[in-house]
A and B are shown apart, each in its own frame.
Chain A
Amino acid sequence: MTNPIRIDGLPTRRVSDGEIVTTPDGTTHYLNGMAALIYELADGRSVESIATSVAAIFDLDNEEGLRLAVAALDEMRAKGLVG
C-alpha cells in the first residue's frame, strides 16, 4: 500500500462526533471520531505511522491500531477520500 494522502480540495465539515467529507459526485461521507483522526493523519506518512498514532491516542495495542487504520484507509480509498 502506498502512503495514503488526503485528496486535495474536498469540502469537510466537523460535527460533534466526527467529520463529514463531500466527494466531487456530491456524496457526503460521515467519518466517526477515529476515522476522522485517520483521515487527518493521512498526509503522506506511512500506514504504520498512522496506526501507531491511532493506537497511542486511543490506547489500543499496535496490532489493533494497524487493523483499524488499514480498514479505514481501504474504505477511504474506495470512496475517493484518500489517494
Chain B
Amino acid sequence: MTVILDYLWLEVELGDDPRLVSLLQNSSTSSLPVRERVTIGVASGSDGDTVDIDGDLHPASGTIELSEIAYGAVHDRVARWARDEGWARIHAGLADAGGRRIMIAGPSGVGKTTTIVALADQGATVLGDEAVLVRDGQAIALPRPLHAKHGGAGIDGLRREAVLTTLPYEDPLAILDPAAINRVARLEHRPAPLDLIVLLERSDGDQPRVVPASTAEAIVALAPDAGPFTPDRVQLVRTVIELAESAPVVRLLMTTPAETARALLEIP
C-alpha cells in the first residue's frame, strides 16, 4: 500500500515501509498547485536499506540516515520551489488560535515545539514547528511532522499516539504527528496573512512577559536564519520588513510551555 503526501508544491508517493510513513506523515492538504511528483521507497537487503527516490538509489545504514535521505528528498525540493516562487523561509512555527494566525520564532532549542504543543493543548491548531514560508505579507507553514528534542521529554502530557517515531540521536528526537497533536484528521495549509509575530526568548523570570518589538528587532531575529535558504538577501530583508509591518511583533520572555502558551493566547 502506498501513501500520498501533499507537501506544498509536491505530491509525494511513499512506499509501504512503515518507517517512511512515520517519518514523513503529515496528514495535511495544501492549497498550492502541485508542481512536482516524487516517489520514495525503501528496499531492505542483507547489506542494509536502500532508499529509492524516483529511481535513484541511496544506501542508508540505519533509521537516522534513512530519515535524513527521505527528509532531504522532500525538503530540498520544497525549498527549491519556494525559492523559485519568491518565498523566504523563516525558522518559526505557525499556529491558528481561534482564527488568529500566530507565527512563533526563536532560536533552535528555545522551546518552540514544546510551546506549540502546549498551544494545541489549549485549543489552538498547530500548522508547523520548523519553517514558515513568507511572501508579500502572506505566510504558510512547512507541513512536516513536529520535531521535539530530548525525545519530547519536555512536553507535559505528551500522548503516545502523537509520537510517530523516535530517532535515536545522542539527544533523541521525537517525531510528532501534527494531526494527532491537534486531534484532527487533516490539516489544511494555505497562504494567508499573519495576525501576530512572536519572538520567543528564554527568561529567568517566574512569569512570562510580553514586550512589544520593533521591525528592527524582527529583522535581527528572523533574517539571519533565513539567509541560507534565500540567496537574494536584499529581497529577504525586504520580505521580513513587509511581514513585520503586516502584523504586531512581540518578544515573549518564556517560562514553562503551558504558562507561555497561556500568555501567548492572551496577547491582544
Contacts and interface: CB of A to CB of B under 8 A. Distances in A.
Interface string A38-76: 001101010000000100111100000000000000000
A21 interface: no
A17 B234 contact: yes
A37 B237 contact: yes
Contact of A59 (B215, B216, B233): B233
A36 B239 CA distance: 13
Nearest to A36: B237
B214 A33 contact: no
Contact of B237 (A33, A43, A45, A59): A33
Overall SS of chain B's interface: helix
Interface in B209-268: 214-216, 219-220, 223-224, 227, 233-234, 236-238, 241
Contacts of A58: 227, 233
Given A18-B234, A41-B220, A57 B241 contact: no
A29 interface: no
A59 B214 contact: no
Interface residues of B, number: 14
B242 to A, nearest CB: 9
A57 B214 contact: no
Nearest to A55: B224
B105 to A, nearest CB: 15
Contacts of B238: 14, 33
A39 to B, nearest CB: 10
A5 to B, nearest CB: 11
Nearest to A43: B216
Interface string B202-214: 0000000000001
B224 A57 contact: yes
B234 A33 contact: yes
A14 B236 CA distance: 14
B234 A34 contact: yes
B216 A45 contact: yes
A40 B241 contact: yes
Q: Which of B214, B236, B237, B241 has the most CB of A within 10 A?
A: B237
Contacts of A14: 238, 241
Contacts of B234: 17-18, 32-34, 36
Interface string A19-39: 000000000000011101100
A17 B227 CA distance: 17
Contacts of A32: 234
B158 to A, nearest CB: 34
Contacts of B233: 33, 57-59
3 interchain residue pairs of minimum CB distance? A33-B234, A56-B224, A43-B216
Interface of A: 14, 17-18, 32-34, 36-37, 40-41, 43, 45, 53, 56-59
5 contacts: A36-B237, A53-B223, A57-B224, A57-B237, A58-B233
Given A57-B219, A58-B233, 4 more contacts: A33-B233, A41-B216, A53-B223, A57-B224
